[in-house]
Structure 1
């Protein structure tokens, strides 16, 4: 594995981790996903031209905003009847 490729995978895995809300225990999945993303990007590029930084940042910001909005919504009650649960005696 070249140093450049490994560094790109590391950065992408970190980005995935942040976008998902920094969950613990998902580092292997993030690394595999990042490697696939980097390899896919490399296969589709005829040269080593970099993407426009604004485009990548906008996409990441959008995902972060969606995750933040989802996290801030109150959780729905699991009771199907809508009636409050009785207290245990």
Structure 2
């Protein structure tokens, strides 16, 4: 089973791609992903999840 953080990472990446891979909006995408994941599954553990500081838009572009 995927951890909450992994689900959020994947969703933030999807949002980033969908919006045309803009730079400098990592936190906005992360926060939106948290909201979407929590809305999908109200039983999910809630609370802040810090973005992985080693991941930024530049590293994501190499995954595509």
Say whether the fold is shared (TM-score over 0.5): yes
TM-score, scaled relative to structure 2:
0.62
Work out which structure has the larger RCO, using CA pairs closer than 8 Å and 6 or more positions apart in sequence: 2
Answer 1 or 2: which has greater helix percent: 1
Number of positions where the alignment pairs a residue of Structure 1 with one of Structure 2: 42
Question: RMSD of aligned C-alpha atoms?
Answer: 1.5
TM-score, scaled relative to structure 1:
0.45
User: Which structure is larger by alpha-carbon Rg, 1 or 2?
Assistant: 1
* Structure 1 spans left out of the alignment, 5+ residues: 45-89
Alignment correspondent of 1:41: 40
* Structure 2 spans left out of the alignment, 5+ residues: 44-64
After TM superposition, where is structure 1 displaced by more than 3 Å over at least 4 residues in a row? none
Q: CA deviation at 1:43?
A: 1.2
